Amino acid sequence: MAANSLGTDVSGRMHIFKPLLIATSLLALHGRISAAEPASTFSKTDLRAAKTLHERASKDDTAYQLVQSLTTEVGARSAGSAGDKAAVAWGVREMQRLGFSNVRTMEVKVPNWVRGEASFKVLAPSPQSMPTLALGGSVGTPPEGIESDAVMVKDLAALSALPADAVRGRIVFFNNRMERTRDGSGYGAAVPVRTAGPALAGSLGAVGVVIRSVGTSTDRFPHTGTTRYTPDGPRIPAVAISNPDADALERQFASGKPVRLRITSSSRDLPQAQSANVIGEIPGTDRADEIVILGAHLDSWDPGVGAIDDGAGVAIIMGAVKLIRELPVKPRRTIRVVLFANEEFGTSGSQAYTAAAASESARHVLGFEADFGAGPVWRLSSRVNPAQQPIVDQVYRALAPLKLARGNNEARGGADLDGLAKLGMALLSPDLDGTNYFDVHHTANDTLAQVDPAALRQSVTAFAIGAWLGAQNPGDWQPVTTPKPPRR
Amino acid sequence: MAANSLGTDVSGRMHIFKPLLIATSLLALHGRISAAEPASTFSKTDLRAAKTLHERASKDDTAYQLVQSLTTEVGARSAGSAGDKAAVAWGVREMQRLGFSNVRTMEVKVPNWVRGEASFKVLAPSPQSMPTLALGGSVGTPPEGIESDAVMVKDLAALSALPADAVRGRIVFFNNRMERTRDGSGYGAAVPVRTAGPALAGSLGAVGVVIRSVGTSTDRFPHTGTTRYTPDGPRIPAVAISNPDADALERQFASGKPVRLRITSSSRDLPQAQSANVIGEIPGTDRADEIVILGAHLDSWDPGVGAIDDGAGVAIIMGAVKLIRELPVKPRRTIRVVLFANEEFGTSGSQAYTAAAASESARHVLGFEADFGAGPVWRLSSRVNPAQQPIVDQVYRALAPLKLARGNNEARGGADLDGLAKLGMALLSPDLDGTNYFDVHHTANDTLAQVDPAALRQSVTAFAIGAWLGAQNPGDWQPVTTPKPPRR
């Protein structure tokens, strides 16, 4: 997953999203079927199929094989890279191999930022070199780097509270610690330093930024992720260092002596590139015009191989839908898998998909997104029209063997379905346990070793049963009319 | 700690060790005092002082402050580097600050290998870049790197068993897994691939070597460490990749397609440099001519900041001796702390010290070495003359509150005291728990975050009580006459 601010047009050249048009279409569809019906119950056949899914999912390693294949044969696949293209080909090939129908790609324009090499040195008081990663989208430095005395602040508020000129000509060190949480709420609280810190520091005259990684590990992995400049503001280089190095740098500041830093980075933007969303389906039967969508993103950051972000998500939804396809019964609604392009660098894949949905009669009635690691699922949350709560309760009961917590009806969902959810699409959210997710997220350490096969199987089980019953809802998935809050 | 083969003269220009001369001196000393005496017991005063050490050590954070200071103010300090010189100055300053007597340095020649930058790419079948570290002492590559098809083997035996010409012109991938153990025995079994693999592969016509790291972590940290060429054999570049990357590379081999690799490295040797052992003491009283030596090494590998290898060892022995110095009673024997130069790159500091001991009347009767992480201590082992076993038993009883296991009398000790131990010096070994040590050892992740203050305090307690009672032995530390086995 990427940062929590969505819809930002990073390159200024992306596909324009037309929410009003789509909203109109969605409401038109929903209007047709949302007449008050009594809540009804799943058929015995549907519940028996859910049990079959549970039995088969506990023995099926398709998802693990998928994430292994993606990370081994493709590896890193940041937007616009050669790996990105290879990942699209991989997605098409694997969907076809698994027997999905209507497998196709949807072309998407993506930014093409190239990391290059970066270095970070403390020159004084105690010389040290620290591993670093440029923030995604950051400009580079001159070849000789930038060198300056530094100012340490906690966060955006602390920077804003400094006297005028306190940071002019300086490098700003943002030293904010992220809190470890199961639901990822610590990320939302910590990430603004990364997304907006360089823009703010630049506007105050700073020449560079280094941040304590937005991550929870005490291992020496810096975490990357996008930063966003303002269209007219200065663009200054920005890098991240790991938590233990941030601790060490904090101690250098604590010495009371001036802290002098040097940053080098050869990051740069190349011309926009072409990528694609990859789409495949199990066609529905009597309600085939309605779509239950399962989304994950195919791109990854470049330092790792994208196993937990988001190879695992790709694997969970493909593995789940593979199991549904193998059931002896066919779903009523169409179940669609979308592997979104470029979630990490501005969600242009999601934006293109949502825009295109307008011309597809806006048939998306329910969504599932897997973009929070490799599981296990610990809770079932939702964002549905209150009239559909009884159906969510029945889905929850069908998931009883997984012993999930029961979340509320305020699921925020992920980045790629945010656009559709804002238009009223219902969400069912088998919540993945994020306690350790931000130890690895956006680091070089995002490898297959971080994926536990048992947790992945359990997650597939939850998504498979959820998606199957979502497609069999004996009533209607009515639009959600309350305003959607920003996602996690 | 470095590899287990000792005494190798890496540079060919090191101080020559004269074991026979020293052995003669040691035996002369021991001969004077080793007449059969009945095993006697520690005085009440000595045992009360041991209790005082326990009480104070549990509240004293000197050791943690030392490892924090060393890693923050000096950081990486590989032999010959600027950090190495800074570490020597740090050692002198801190010993003086702690009130040690006769603080001095002993100059040591050290190799001066410079890592430069390295890269490792799988070109086919599935292109991937993997983080890598050159092995210490490895030659570099031409600027464009070396590129070749690759051969995967498990270890030295498997390589030797290949048909002639199987590796000529190829890059050899050693894919041996290290076993996790508490006592470090897994290291001894795995490390020959690193120390001798490149020399063997070169002799068979290989053009380069990549090894699965000699380490136990599933995190994406390659582990460095020395490799040793033979004087007349080919010198081919050698690098390490992390365990998860070795897993991924193994899967590429499993595809059955030819695996093509590229290695670049700018490693090179600079002219030999000057470093120093740092020495300080608590002078003894009635048996001041006898020395109880506590050793650790001041140098570190360069990718990390040397917190567990061996900042923690330095801190444990300095912290222990600081507590002994603050006792109301003075030790009978002289307690000497030696921070050895250049353990990692051929133990030239230890060799110089052992050689110099010849001219110092070879007064070293008992040794302690801390070079296996930050604790806790889990066992007390020894290597003493059997006549002194009752004293070891009494030391073990004095350590009862720490609930240690009782090891045998076949302690192998560490690298820096190996020379003296081979000459018959007794060893007392508060064994540090190495279960997780090789997750971090020789990686960039060797930072202060890996040091648990409570485990470090417990380790200081064990070393302090051991060293104190070792200095108060009411009998004699008689020489050990059985041949010393190779160390762990």
pLDDT in tens, B389-417: 999 999 999 999 999 999 999 998 899 99
Of A76, A218, A449, the CB nearest to B247: A449
pLDDT confidence of residue B1: 66
Q: How confident is the model at residue B9 (pLDDT cuts 50, 70, 90)?
A: very low
A367 and A426 Cβ atoms separated by less than 8 Å = yes
A6: pLDDT strictly greater than 50:
no
Under DSSP, the state recorded for B152 is E
DSSP lists the bridge partners of residue B380 as: B406, B430
Whether the link from the prior residue into A61 is cis, omega within 30° of 0, is no
Interface test with A, best of B64, B114, B126 (most A CBs within 10 A): B126
Strand, helix or coil for residue B413: coil
Average pLDDT over residues B243-255: 98
Question: How far apart, in whole angstroms, are the C-alpha atoms of residue B367 and residue B369?
Answer: 7
Do the chains contact at A305 and B219, CB–CB below 8 Å?
Answer: no
B27: pLDDT strictly greater than 50:
no
Q: How confident is the model at residue A32 (pLDDT cuts 50, 70, 90)?
A: very low
Of B244, B252, B305, the CB nearest to A449: B244
A374: pLDDT strictly greater than 90:
yes
Q: How confident is the model at residue B164 (pLDDT cuts 50, 70, 90)?
A: confident
pLDDT confidence of residue A359: 67
Interface test with A, best of B78, B84, B123, B219 (most A CBs within 10 A): B219
pLDDT confidence of residue A12: 31
A396: pLDDT strictly greater than 80:
yes
pLDDT confidence of residue B81: 97
Average pLDDT over residues A183-194: 95
Minimal Cα–Cα distance from B278 to chain A, Å?
Answer: 21
Q: Between A30 and B242, where is the model more confident?
A: B242
Q: Is B65 on the interface with A (CB under 8 A)?
A: no
A13 and A113 Cβ atoms separated by less than 8 Å = no
pLDDT confidence of residue A285: 98
Of A73, A75, A445, the CB nearest to B220: A445
Tokens of A174: 């943002």
Question: How far apart, in whole angstroms, are the C-alpha atoms of residue B137 and residue B268?
Answer: 8
Q: Is B453 on the interface with A (CB under 8 A)?
A: no
Q: How confident is the model at residue A357 (pLDDT cuts 50, 70, 90)?
A: confident
Q: Is B118 on the interface with A (CB under 8 A)?
A: no
Average pLDDT over residues B88-110: 98
pLDDT confidence of residue A27: 46
pLDDT confidence of residue B190: 96
Of A127, A244, A449, the CB nearest to B449: A244
**Per residue in B315-374, pLDDT tens?**
999 999 999 999 999 999 999 999 999 999 999 999 999 999 876 646 999 999 999 999
B441: pLDDT strictly greater than 90:
yes
Q: Which of A91, A65, A443 is nearest to A240 (CA)?
A: A443
Q: Give contacts of A243 with chain B, Cβ < 8 Å.
A: 449
Average pLDDT over residues B79-96: 98
User: Helix crossing, A19-33 with A348-357: angle to 10°?
Assistant: 50
236-275 of B, contacting A, C-beta below 8 A: 243-245, 247-248, 251-252
Minimal Cα–Cα distance from A444 to chain B, Å?
Answer: 7
pLDDT confidence of residue A164: 87
pLDDT confidence of residue A358: 76
Average pLDDT over residues B227-252: 97
pLDDT confidence of residue A3: 56
pLDDT confidence of residue A36: 46
Average pLDDT over residues B285-314: 98
pLDDT confidence of residue A1: 66
Q: Which residue of A has its CA nearest to B440?
A: A219
Interface test with A, best of B73, B218, B241, B451 (most A CBs within 10 A): B73
Q: Is A390 on the interface with B (CB under 8 A)?
A: no
**Per residue in B178-201, pLDDT tens?**
999 999 999 999 999 999 999 999
B34: pLDDT strictly greater than 90:
no
Q: Give contacts of B68 with chain A, Cβ < 8 Å.
A: 251
Minimal Cα–Cα distance from B78 to chain A, Å?
Answer: 13
Q: Is A128 on the interface with B (CB under 8 A)?
A: yes
Tokens of B396: 């073990």
A377: pLDDT strictly greater than 90:
yes
Average pLDDT over residues B235-259: 98
A229 and A137 Cβ atoms separated by less than 8 Å = yes
Of A18-32, A116-130, A132-146, A263-277, which range is least confident? A18-32
**Per residue in B113-145, pLDDT tens?**
999 999 999 999 999 999 999 999 999 999 999
**pLDDT averaged over chain B?**
92
Minimal Cα–Cα distance from A141 to chain B, Å?
Answer: 20
Q: Is A96 on the interface with B (CB under 8 A)?
A: no
pLDDT confidence of residue B40: 84
Do the chains contact at B72 and A219, CB–CB below 8 Å?
Answer: no
pLDDT confidence of residue A485: 79
Under DSSP, the state recorded for B226 is B
Do the chains contact at A252 and B444, CB–CB below 8 Å?
Answer: no
Do the chains contact at A449 and B218, CB–CB below 8 Å?
Answer: yes
pLDDT confidence of residue A466: 98
Q: Is A216 on the interface with B (CB under 8 A)?
A: no
Do the chains contact at B126 and A74, CB–CB below 8 Å?
Answer: yes
Minimal Cα–Cα distance from A244 to chain B, Å?
Answer: 6
Average pLDDT over residues A428-442: 98
Q: Is B75 on the interface with A (CB under 8 A)?
A: yes
